[in-house]
C-alpha cells in the first residue's frame, strides 16, 4: 500500500492539487489523506478508490485482475483431455 500511496501523492502533486483541496474533494481529513499517501494499512480501500476518482484515475480500476494468467491456465488444464490416460488405452492392454 505504501507504493500506491506514493503514486497517488505524485499524481496529486502533478495536478497541482493541494492536500487541503484533495481532502475536501474526498470528504476526508488532511490527516487521513496524509496517512493514505504514506500507505498506512488502516486506511479503508474505499478511501483509496475515492482518491483515484478525484485524480481521474478511476479507469485504472478496470485493469485490476484483468489478465488472470494463473486462472486461465487452471481453466485450460480442466478443458484439456487427460494426458495420463489417452482415450482408448486401458491398463493392461497389450
10 Å CB burial of residue 19 (0-12, 13-18, 19+) is middle
8 in Cβ contact with 52 (< 8 Å): yes
pTM of the model: 0.70
Name the residue with cell 480500476: 61
Give per-residue pLDDT as tens, 25-58: 999 999 999 999 999 999 999 999 999 999 999 9
Write out the CATH class of domain 2-63: mainly alpha
Chain segment 52-94, per-residue pLDDT in tens: 999 999 998 888 778 888 988 988 888 876 655 556 555 555 4
Domain boundary assignment for the chain: 2-63
Between residues 76 and 5, the one the model is more confident about: 5
Amino acid at each position: 500500500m505504501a507504493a500506491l500511496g506514493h503514486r497517488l501523492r505524485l499524481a496529486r502533486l502533478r495536478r497541482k492539487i493541494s492536500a487541503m483541496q484533495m481532502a475536501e474533494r474526498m470528504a476526508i481529513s488532511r490527516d487521513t489523506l496524509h496517512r493514505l499517501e504514506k500507505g498506512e494499512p488502516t486506511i479503508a480501500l474505499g478511501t483509496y478508490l475515492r482518491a483515484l476518482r478525484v485524480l481521474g484515475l478511476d479507469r485504472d480500476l478496470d485493469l485490476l485482475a484483468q489478465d488472470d494468467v494463473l486462472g486461465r491456465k487452471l481453466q485450460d488444464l480442466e478443458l484439456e483431455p487427460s494426458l495420463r490416460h489417452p482415450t482408448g488405452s486401458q491398463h493392461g492392454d497389450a
